Structure 1
Amino acid sequence: MSRSRGDAVIGGGSPPTSPGCLPGLCSNIWFWRCTTGILAVVAVLILCIHLAVNSSSGKGSSGSPPLEPCPADWLYHKRKCYYFSEKEKDWDSSQSFCSSHNSSLTVIENQQELKFIMKITKQDPWIGLHKTGEEFHWVNGTPLDTNLLAVKGSGECAYIESAGVSSSGCSLTRGWVCKKTS
């Protein structure tokens, strides 16, 4: 019995091959197509998991900070976000503004930060230092370390000026500097 190419194989034997196919290869074409499809799905899932892990940790794949670590109009510096106001308010209103933006008036942590703020600011802005009794305390409750900085003046609330830190009456209006962790 002779078979033509289009005849079905009945009772065993090998299936017909397509023109241009090597024997045995084309019979497995569906296997290879399925394998390729599964590998593609697995690759997409791995990519999605990688992106989800990196976005939930807040870091890019290189461990660098997010592209926009601070809100608009805030300045990023050494893993902190700073807001330098252009308006003027009294000390309490300035602290209220900062609080409403999940931050506080700036607590100066070291000489480098003091120099940074003095370099950036164009006015004499309020910072988060005020008198409690006879002593200056930061808004976070920490007492002032006089080895870090000295406050000139006899006022109750502190601000930064070109020569360092001074104090004045808290009801005077000035610009202010808010700070928060990025």
Structure 2
Amino acid sequence: MAPKKPAAPEKPEEPPKPPPGKLKWTFYSTFGTICVISFFTMLVLYIRLITDSENPLLLPMKKLRINMADGLRNPKIVHTSQDLFKKGKPKTAGGWDFFGKSFYYISNEEKTWHDAESFCLTRDSHLASILSDEEQNYLTSQLSDPTWIGLTDENEEGNWKWTDGSRTKAQYWSLGNPSYSEHDGALEKDCTSIVPSSGGYNWNDDYCHKLHKWVCKENIDIEEP
């Protein structure tokens, strides 16, 4: 009797193929998830970019002003430095002017008084104090529009003080200024602007929420030789 042939091995069962529609939706779902993650990542980066108000040139300009201040404190070069800056209104880097013993920044845009003071504070300065006839005449000659300075009586009506802590000396109020409100709760004019078209006496008390240009001032103590 002839031997029986061994039975042929059974073919392994192939896993069932997903229906075409399911495969398509799996692809779309994966692709959509990647798009959503990419979108939110880009959104976060964009928000950080537009909210980062720090100017990349701010630190180099700050170092430059510090180095200039250190140089001006050197008795050997103080007079030479003052002569270089005295005439012709040369500009320092970053839009700061040098006059007397201070740096000044005059804006090209407009802000409220409080926003302008905040701007100056981020530049290691304050809204400008004016302490002499020379300083008053200098700033008036540089301005063409109403411009905020650092004098305010916001803390106590009628008690005007400089934001940089300087002692209030000469004052250059225009005729009829400052004025005071006689009604409790009324909006008061607590901030000061220079109106250059008014001549030598050109300080106006003004509402702090108004939009004006502004001038920052950074004091530099120069040692006398």
TM range (shorter): 0.5 to 0.7
Decide which structure has greater strand share.
1
Matched, 1:138 2:154: no
Residues of 2 paired with 1:62 and 1:101: CA distance?
26
CA RMSD of aligned residues (A): 2.9
Decide which structure has greater helix share.
2
Gaps of 5+ in 1: 1-54
Alignment of 1:109-128 (within 5 A): 109-128=131-150
Matched, 1:58 2:71: yes
Percent identical among aligned pairs is: 24
Shift of 1:165: 0.3
Q: After the TM superposition, which segments of 4 or more aligned residues of structure 1 sit over 3 Å from their partners?
A: 59-63, 66-71, 141-145
2:114 partner SS: helix
Distance 1:69 1:160, change over 3 A: closer
Distance 1:114 1:95, change over 3 A: same
What amino acid maps onto 2:218 in structure 1?
A: K
Q: Could you tell me which of 206, 213, 218 is aligned with 1:175?
A: 213
Matched, 1:90 2:98: no
Alignment of 1:11-50 (within 5 A): none
Gaps of 5+ in 2: 1-67, 85-89, 180-188, 221-225
- Normalising by structure 1, we get a TM-score of 0.60
The match for 2:40 is none
Residues of 1 paired with 2:163 and 2:96: CA distance?
20
Deviations 1:39-73 (A, max 9, x none): xxxxxxxxxxxxxxxx9952586443398994421
Number of aligned residues? 127
